[in-house]
Structure 1
Amino acid sequence: MVAELAPGFLVASPSLTDPNFKRSVVLLIDHRPEGSLGFVVNRPAQNVTFRGVVDELGFAPEDHPPPNLPVMVGGPVQPHTGWIVFDPTTAAGTDDDCIKVSEKLSVSASRDFLRDVARERSVSRHLLILGYAGWGAGQLDQEIRQGAWIPVDVKESILFETPWDDRWKGALAVLGIEPAYLVGQISEA
Structure 2
Amino acid sequence: MSSPDQKDETQNLTGKVLIAMPGMADPRFQRSVVLICAHSEEGAMGLVLNHPLPEIKFTELLEQLGIDVEDTARHIEVRFGGPVEPARGFVLHSVPEHGDDPEGRLRIGSALAMTSTRDILEDLARGQGPEDAVLALGYAGWGPGQIEAEMLQNGWLTGDGVEELIFGAAHEEKWQLALRAQGIDPSLLSAAAGRA
Note the 1:50-69 alignment, pairs <5 A: 50-67=58-75, 69=76
Cα distance in 2 for partners of 1:45, 1:96 equals 28
Report whether the alignment pairs 1:36 with 2:64. no
Quote the residue 2:127 is aligned against.
120
Backbone CA RMSD of aligned residues: 2.0
Cα distance in 1 for partners of 2:60, 2:178 equals 29
The correspondence for 2:149, drawn from 128, 137, 142, is 142
Conservation of the 8 A alpha-carbon contact between 1:95 and 1:113: no
Conservation of the 8 A alpha-carbon contact between 1:61 and 1:119: yes
**Code of the aligned partner of 1:184:** A
TM normalised by structure 1 equals: 0.87
The correspondence for 1:184, drawn from 169, 184, 193, is 193
Identity of aligned residues (%): 34
Cα distance in 2 for partners of 1:53, 1:178 equals 39
Higher strand content, 1 or 2: 1
Cα distance in 1 for partners of 2:101, 2:130 equals 9
The correspondence for 2:117, drawn from 89, 107, 110, is 110
* Unpaired stretches in structure 2, ≥5 consecutive residues: 1-10
Conservation of the 8 A alpha-carbon contact between 2:70 and 2:127: no
How far has the Cα of 1:89 moved from its partner?
2.7
Cα distance in 2 for partners of 1:94, 1:66 equals 22
* Unpaired stretches in structure 1, ≥5 consecutive residues: none
Query: What is the DSSP-based 3-state SS (H/G/I as helix, E as strand, rest coil) of the residue aligned with 1:102?
Result: coil
TM normalised by structure 2 equals: 0.84
